[in-house]
Amino acid sequence: MKQLNSNQCFGGQQQQFEHDSQVLNCTMRFSIFMPPQASEGKVPVLYWLSGLTCTDENFVQKAGAQRMAAELGIAIVAPDTSPRGDEVADDEAYDLGKGAGFYLNATQEPWAKHYQMYDYIAYELPTLIEAHFPVTDKRAISGHSMGGHGALTIGLRNAPRFKSISAFSPIVSPLHCPWGHKALTAYLGDDQALWVKYDAVELMKKIKGNEAYLPPIKVDQGLADNFLQEQLKPQLLENAANDVNYPFEINLRDGYDHSYFFIASFIDEHLKFHAQYLK
């Protein structure tokens, strides 16, 4: 790994690194906040997945999460949202290609060589973090919009590797929204049977009562969100969770939109939620 930046923050360190990813076949960046407690022993980790057009820097600079993370003793890892580099396939639209990896493993050309974001987030990146930083193997996952979709699907498919899941304004069902149809058709092809494992609502429907561990889920959704009705549809996930008695909490926030002002308003509550399961 190569360190790019380091800044002291609330007694801890906000840092940025790049590394060569074998899964993505390119050089990747991630940001990591190490709380002050990391100087005395290992700390648990929250993985934060950002939304369309974002990089590893948006959450770090806009969410204001470091103060509470320092108080709770939680590291936060914020990866990039897609593979990067001149050889990586891209599209002119903002919702496909670079900045729009959708946290899945692509099977279609020209995407398959690099766009293996599911394996990167679920396996390669945690292995790297746990090998090079003073962290435990207790992990939580959270995200916003496209990143909320990633947090829900990766968390649900990898219990108990991830102890808890949360999301702001998540795309809960790519099968039922324009963003999802465009991305999943491009990355996975036309067979929607292959899409199901990247759809949180469909994954929730398959939950049985005999699972060894169900990571609790917390969702916050702004009611002034321009994407609420067409793209996000949180009621689909709420209904699926209620049908299987899943440990699920949703907060509908009047007046809040899709921006980082919304995330900054409630990020402390999400960190406290995860702290219950990481300690």
Active site residues: 145, 225, 258
What are the distances in angstroms from CA 88 to CA 24, 27, 79, 83, 248?
Answer: 9, 10, 17, 7, 37
Using alpha carbons, select from 235, 243, 232 the residue that is nearest to residue 207.
243
CA distance 165 to 273: 9
Using alpha carbons, select from 244, 95, 256 the residue that is nearest to residue 168.
256
Residue carrying structure tokens 């980790």 = 45
CA distance 136 to 242: 32
CB count within 10 Å of CB 266 equals: 18
CB count within 10 Å of CB 193 equals: 7
For 44, the 3-state DSSP assignment is strand
Rounded to 5, what percent of the chain is helix, strand, coil? Answer: 40, 25, 35
CA distance 245 to 228: 24
Q: What backbone torsions phi and psi does residue 96 show, to the nearest 5 degrees?
A: -155, 145
For residue 87, what is the DSSP state? T
Using alpha carbons, select from 109, 100, 117 the residue that is nearest to residue 21.
117
For 23, the 3-state DSSP assignment is coil
For 97, the 3-state DSSP assignment is strand
